[in-house]
Structure 1
């Protein structure tokens, strides 16, 4: 699995409840741009419209070699390929429980197909975000101390 981009902000702002793997409908120049890691997931979100899932706000930059006539809009909505049962489950959770759907990462699987990992999320409160920052700092300190301890033994 070749990870292209991650949505770090989603991990910080949301509590992740469930994850799904979805295919993406892309054009040829967009796939080439993905291979060169020219994608940004930061402010993207997913909406379900007429029993179809679409990702909005995902920015895929065009390459310089792309013909200007065939150049797609960089932030256009892109259709996601999910099973009908998955879409129904996601739509039910979003409409009844007030949850959101956000993309977490985009990658190429072992068959060289572009996949988007999406998640059903609940927003974090301020104190949860502070706790995440504290945990991250403590983990970083623990890694540093283990590294220093290993250097002392060798």
Structure 2
């Protein structure tokens, strides 16, 4: 009897906003659900999501994401009008919404979308409160990354 091949644990990440970590210093992060339509889920399953220009804003005690693009599939229903950049509602607890509102209003922080991923059969969004980086901060981060890489290289060669 032949053994069944083991399945690799699949990476649940749908899309990442890599420029967010470069442009902002992230302080806190939160997990939020999303209100999506059926055609959006089908497009997300095919990986047709772009988070690079998205941002989160608060209105009337609720969180919304704008600028996120979900490109509709060609085989989408004809009776549905697919708007790829519509404003979508994020689902958060009241306590989390209050913390976000305090960070935005009191501390002057921005809420950015960091990544989108599957959690079971649900699509989740990781959002974070952030402050914008200055040019010298970006240079310092690059310098630190280069030093960490060089240090690892030196330690690897020293152990041989």
Residue 85 of structure 1 aligns to a residue whose secondary structure is helix
Does structure 2 conserve the Cα–Cα contact (< 8 Å) formed by 1:62 and 1:71?
no
Residue 97 of structure 1 aligns to a residue whose secondary structure is coil
CA distance in 2, matches of 1:139, 1:67: 50
How many Å apart are 1:139 and its aligned residue? 4.2
CA distance in 1, matches of 2:117, 2:61: 25
Residue 106 of structure 2 aligns to a residue whose secondary structure is helix
The residue aligned with 1:75 is 85
Which structure has the greater CA radius of gyration?
2
Q: Is residue 2:49 matched to residue 1:39?
A: yes
- The count of residues paired between Structure 1 and Structure 2 equals 150
Q: Is residue 2:142 matched to residue 1:133?
A: yes
Instruction: Specify which of 89, 95, 102 is matched with residue 85 of structure 1.
Output: 95
Instruction: Specify which of 66, 76, 90 is matched with residue 56 of structure 1.
Output: 66
Instruction: Specify which of 46, 66, 73 is matched with residue 76 of structure 2.
Output: 66
1:114-129 pair list within 5 angstroms: 114-129=123-138
How many Å apart are 1:136 and its aligned residue? 3.2
Structure richer in helix, relative to its length: 1
How many Å apart are 1:140 and its aligned residue? 4.6
The residue aligned with 2:15 is 5
How many Å apart are 1:80 and its aligned residue? 0.3
Does structure 2 conserve the Cα–Cα contact (< 8 Å) formed by 1:25 and 1:78?
yes
Residue 104 of structure 2 aligns to a residue whose secondary structure is helix
The 1:113–1:133 alpha-carbon spacing in structure 2 relative to 1, beyond 3 Å, is same
TM-score, normalised via structure 1 length:
0.88
CA distance in 2, matches of 1:139, 1:3: 26
CA distance in 2, matches of 1:18, 1:75: 26
